[in-house]
A and B are shown apart, each in its own frame.
Chain A
Amino acid sequence: MEPILEIRGLVKRFGSFVANDRLNLAIRQGEIHALLGENGAGKSTLMNMLSGMLEPDEGEILYKGKPVRFGSPREAGSAGIGMVHQHFMLIPALTVAENVLLGLKQDRSPFFRFKKACAEIRELSDRFGLDVRPEAKVSDLSVGQQQRVEIIKTLFRGAEFIILDEPTAVLTPSEVKDLFRVLRTLKEQGKTIIFISHKLQEIREICDRVTVLRLGRLIGTHSLDGITPADLARMMVGRDVAAPVRKAGIVSQTNRLKVTGLHASESGVPVLKDISFRIREGEILGIAGVDGNGQRELSEVLFGLRSKDAGIIELDGEALQRQQPRSMKEKGVAYIPEDRHKEGLMLQMSVEENLIAKEYRKRRFSKGGIISRRRMRECADEQIKSFAIKTSGASVPVGRLSGGNQQKVILARELMLNPKVIVAMQPTRGMDVGAAEYVHKRLLEASEQGCSILLISTELEEVMALSDRIAVLYKGELLGTMDRESADRDRIGQLMAGIRPNASFAI
């Protein structure tokens, strides 16, 4: 069968970073094609090129057999390619009809054909079972309804080919069911759909074929008939790192951190459900799982950045009442955030100032409210040496350092606290192999000195190489904690896909 869309040797670079490396892909008419990959694998870049948000540096896109080049989303739209972004491109203050009509040039007249448009929207809504009222204000709609408005926007513009970027990330389970029903209707009526996700179970349920991306490269395209979720998980996260191996048997029996029955929610939707675990002194507990299953929320609750609905967090046997970043810091909890630039560093401030960001008030660095520059510099020089931070000086703004060196600054700052517990969220994301290994080495050293570490990572290899015990986070629930000896990739891969032992598929 002729592919409706074909991609040949597509390359996109941002500076020296290759986001998409010579991708080849063919999408068939009328299929639902999954695009699977972790954050940063290059899915969004690829889709932004298809929808005209970005232009490729090399390679070509063939649509219906003809080479095309889209300079803007509008050009892609008029060719029949529509995109539903993960973060909706809707204007909440306007009505559905206004959102749909915005930017259309079909009418010659400068006035809206409001009634006509409403009728058309209603007709589309009925045909595809979208259940959207054109007069409603978008801000009054539920998230699921807003997403259907986005779909209507593409259909109204005559889209034959619809790209959905992580459409289920923001939906509740019942809304997911509704979305899948709509997608099936669309497929029946001949539309082609690209479904971007990293949720394996959903892909299995709705898609015909799947293409896996990892680190900007295309790993393979497969029919979903002959492939297990565990295979997919491996294709998506697998990478071979010669990581340092964890020495076994140094863990004491004293509980350091104990979490019991932790619940949290985001605007009414539960994001963490009954999480319980314990970490002993000097132990590393690895939390594996596909991105977006509650990792971020768990780390935020533990560090006091997000409030919990229920549950007890105990540190050294003492229950922590009211968590705030400051009190957690003082209790000896270190935090390596997922997003270095947003949460980890003040990019315009110098390396030395960032290094003391959690201790500037301590005697060591300030007296009578005045910061000792000499001590700050001494400390910075020491840390720069000890962590081999590549910088032309301690007074250089930290934003000028490379990503790996920025992470070293964070690591140095957190380890300086001699923490009892480190909550490390994706500590090596986006780093090259060498820098990642260095981070691993320092984390292992810290644990050997008695520090307990909660390592949350979507990279299975990382979790398996470092952890004493491994648990899997799936849809806000912690599934099957296991010792490293009894953990094998297949079992973890199944759990990551939501396949519980002795249980049927959970959606």
Chain B
Amino acid sequence: MSEARSVNEKAERWVKAVVEVLFYAGAVLVALLAGGLVMAAAGVSPLEAYRLIWDGAAGDANSVKETLVKATPLLFAGLCYTFAYRSGLFNIGAEGQIYIGAMTGTMAALYVPGLPGFAHLPLCIAAGAAGGAVWAGIAGALKIFKGASEIINTIMLNYMGIYLVSYMVTGPMKDPSGTLPQSARLPESALLAKLFDSRLHYGFVLAVALAVILYIVLNRTVWGYEIRSVGFNKQATKVMGIPVSRNMLLVMMVSGAIAGIGGYVEIAGVQNRLFQNFSPGYGYDGIAVALVGGAHPLGNIGSAILFGGLRSGANAMQRMTGTSTSLVYVIQATIIVLVVCNRYWFGGWKRRLIASLAARFGGDSRPEELRAVQAARETALNVNKGEGSR
């Protein structure tokens, strides 16, 4: 009987996963449709535009690489949001943490000279992580010690981070040999190597590796267990003897560190210099990436590539038609809305679909509530039987 059970369980899990993926695909489609409507209203042919976007995102090997270049910072930002979210915290501050991480990483790159690449690059990445961690840690500490909303504080820290970088590149960190408000070029030893002779760099590999690591941390490790437990039920977690506040602060800092690495990777992989406004809102896009990725580290990889493709495709479209890349924001916003409202709009529909499909593939077709009630009844019956025989 237990074997049959586990087969059912597996079938059910698969059906559920398939339905979820279908749902997200549907949400993306609807959002593309909405974007098409916007374009039509703005006087651009949606079909033509989407053809250009597709070509720009996946038309040939180069566009695929460009997509991955754009996906890299998005993946870092998505992981940043995801990680905090899993322990019940809202880190809206990836944008600021990206800037600060880029800044501290660049400092390590420019002002710690004479190291070989194998030592310099990791040092710079660590510096970026530390910068992001401190920036997010401020919001985390205010939350734990003062009870101040981490949502508001991370937003405030976004702007402060952006302005701080703006100050640094116009002042102390300004390239002495140039007139533009930007830092000097990073030394070779601090740069990320390129992949396949293109703009694509090892930062993408790093981001994917990080996603896998976070997946393992969350699902396999003692610490991940604590984090998820804090996210689900703080009071029960406390009763289990697991420290709650300390974990919240740590999670916030790690979340910031992820964004900080993302910031430095963008500088060391693509821009090679620190300058103002190098991030066109990657931090905010990260929220969309995380939501579409189901707040699952591995899911983030797929959604980051999706949004990266949209971005690089939209760049191509803008070059050809003059329609702004900002269209991507409309599509992203629509996806976010569809995903977060899904329980209200599609919850019942999805549950029924899963139940009926699961039944066909040998799973348990009863709705969850009914299952619980029947399980309770079975228990009662069994115990009563046992009593009779005693």
Using CB atoms and an 8 Å cutoff, list the residues of chain A in contact with chain B. 15-16, 303, 305, 324-330, 335, 337, 342-349, 353, 357-358, 360-361, 366, 369-371, 373, 388, 390-393, 395-396, 400-405, 432-435, 437-438
Contacts and interface: CB of A to CB of B under 8 A. Distances in A.
Contact of B220 (A326, A348, A373, A391): A373
B13 to A, nearest CB: 8
Contact of B241 (A329, A400, A438): A329
Given A366-B222, A432-B380, A390 B229 contact: no
A69 to B, nearest CB: 28
Interface in B238-276: 238-243
B233 A346 contact: yes
Nearest to A361: B222
Given A432-B379, A434-B379, 14 more contacts: A303-B239, A305-B239, A342-B233, A342-B235, A346-B229, A346-B232, A349-B229, A358-B241, A392-B8, A402-B373, A402-B379, A404-B376, A404-B380, A434-B384
Contacts of A437: 383, 387
Contacts of B225: 353, 360, 371
Interface stretch (B62-70, B103-111, B364-372): B364-372
B20 to A, nearest CB: 16
A369 B227 CA distance: 13
Contact of A325 (B220, B240, B369, B373): B240
Interface in B333-390: 364, 368-369, 371-373, 375-376, 378-380, 382-384, 387
27 contacts: A15-B369, A16-B373, A303-B239, A324-B241, A325-B238, A335-B239, A342-B233, A344-B236, A346-B233, A347-B233, A348-B232, A357-B240, A358-B240, A369-B221, A369-B223, A388-B379, A390-B382, A392-B8, A392-B9, A393-B6, A393-B9, A395-B9, A402-B379, A403-B376, A433-B380, A434-B379, A435-B380
Nearest to A408: B379
Contact of B375 (A347, A353, A357, A405): A405
A343 B369 contact: no
Contact of B368 (A16, A303, A337, A400): A400
Q: Which of B9, B232, B243, B368 has the most C-beta atoms of chain A within 10 angstroms of its own C-beta?
A: B232
Contacts of A324: 241
Nearest to A367: B222
Contacts of A342: 233, 235-236
A295 to B, nearest CB: 16
Nearest to B6: A393
B9 A405 contact: no
Nearest to A304: B241
Contacts, number: 115
B134 to A, nearest CB: 24
A75 B87 CA distance: 43
Top 8 closest A-B pairs, CB basis?
A434-B383, A402-B376, A326-B241, A325-B241, A346-B232, A329-B241, A393-B9, A357-B240
Interface in B205-225: 220-223, 225
B285 to A, nearest CB: 28
Provide the main secondary structure of the chain B interface.
helix
Interface of B: 5-6, 8-9, 220-223, 225, 228-229, 232-233, 235-243, 364, 368-369, 371-373, 375-376, 378-380, 382-384, 387
A353 B236 CA distance: 13
Contact of A405 (B220, B221, B379, B387): B379
B375 A391 contact: yes
A343 B380 contact: no
Given A329-B241, A357-B240, A358-B240, A390 B232 contact: no
B325 to A, nearest CB: 38
Contact of B221 (A326, A371, A391, A393): A371
Given A15-B369, A371-B222, A390 B236 contact: no
Contacts of B378: 390
A400 B371 contact: yes
Contacts of B372: 400-402
Contacts of B228: 346, 349
A325 B243 CA distance: 10
A433 B379 CA distance: 11
B354 to A, nearest CB: 14
A345 B236 contact: yes
A401 B375 contact: yes
A438 B383 contact: yes
Contacts of A438: 383
Contacts of A325: 238-241
B229 A357 contact: yes
Contacts of A305: 238-239
Contacts of B241: 324-330, 358
Contacts of A361: 222
Contacts of A392: 5, 8-9, 364, 371
A36 B252 CA distance: 49
B43 to A, nearest CB: 47
Contacts of B5: 392-393
Given A344-B239, A392-B364, A400-B371, A369 B222 contact: yes
A346 B236 contact: yes
A16 B380 CA distance: 15
A346 B225 CA distance: 11
Nearest to A327: B241
A326 B243 CA distance: 9
